[in-house]
Amino acid sequence: MSGPTPAQILEAAGVPFSSFTHAPIRTYEDIERELRLPAEQLLKTLAFRTDDGFVLVSMPMLLPAGYGKIAKAAGVSRSKLRRAGEDDLTVLGMAPGGISPLTELADKTVVFHATVPSMGKVYCGSGRDDETIEVDAASLVDLVRPVIADVAS
């Protein structure tokens, strides 16, 4: 990874968290099989590429993403928002299945679904597909300072 890892970002900010390793995950089925965690505590982070950089969107795992709402929250045209490919994730220093809302990359917008701040303990990506971070959602929001919006379809 280039730059600090999500765990290093949390450590540097003094945010309490824990992490654990597991078999690589890429799909929801992998998550169910490998993590066995309550779905209501799981955050998925989607990465998008725009002409100006990246948009990272963290939301409850089971909610469907509303691309139009994501574009609006990020302040970009829907036509300019495309899912990040593996080359884009390399720029972010992240692996598919491990995308995290925590990055120090300058050209990014981070959006959290409106329910995230009140979710309590959550599990999110670490940047790697074989490690997951456990952190308090409110602490994560305080650190990331994302745009908060309803981005579910």
pLDDT of residue 107: 86
Quote the percentage of the chain above a pLDDT of 70.
99
Give residue-wise pLDDT tens across range 116-153: 999 999 999 999 999 999 999 999 999 999 999 999 99
Q: In this structure, which CATH number among 3.90.960.10, 3.30.360.10, 3.20.20.150, 3.40.50.620 belongs to the domain 6-149? A: 3.90.960.10
Find out whether 100 and 136 touch, Cβ atoms under 8 Å. no
To the nearest 10 degrees (0 to 180), the angle between helices 6-13 and 137-144 is 90
For the chain, the average pLDDT equals 93
Structure tokens at 25: 């995950």
pLDDT of 1: 44
* pLDDT of 2: 63
pTM: 0.93
Contacting residues for 28 by C-beta, under 8 A, at least 6 apart: 61
Give the DSSP H/E element, type plus range, for residue 122. Answer: strand 121-125
